[in-house]
């Protein structure tokens, strides 16, 4: 299957940084997962609330202003494998599964 890439630059003023963590802001994993689900919606037209996280690994912290590349690959089952990198650094990987309403 083909891999589709999406690019997202983390806004320096993202609201998640307010409490995660004072003095050393780090993007919470849930923000990365949310972005992966939004890109899955864009790729497949399956609404964001119809995706469930099959698994996820967070490999490296992400800070304000970093540019992330999300690579999504649709599997024959309809699931999506994703990986996220910042430059040459692996940041996260996992899978999303479509679910019924």
Say how far apart CA 97 and CA 56 lie, in whole Å: 12
Q: Which of 76, 72, 80, 68 is nearest to 29 (CA)?
A: 68
The token pair at 17 is 């940084």
Tell me if residue 20 is catalytic.
Answer: yes
DSSP 7-63: EEEPPTT-GGGGSS-TTS----HHHHHHHHHHHHHHHH---GGGEEEEEEEE-S---
Q: Give the catalytic positions in this structure.
A: 20
């Amino acid at each position: 299957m083909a891999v589709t890439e999406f690019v997202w630059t983390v806004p320096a003023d993202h609201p998640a940084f307010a409490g995660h963590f004072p003095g050393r802001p780090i993007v919470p994993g849930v923000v990365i997962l949310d972005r992966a689900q939004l890109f899955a919606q864009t790729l497949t037209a399956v609404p964001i609330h119809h995706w469930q996280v099959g698994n996820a690994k967070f490999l490296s912290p992400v800070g304000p202003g970093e540019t992330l590349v999300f690579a999504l690959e649709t599997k024959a089952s309809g699931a999506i494998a994703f990986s996220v990198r910042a430059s040459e650094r692996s940041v996260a990987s996992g899978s999303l599964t479509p679910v019924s309403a």
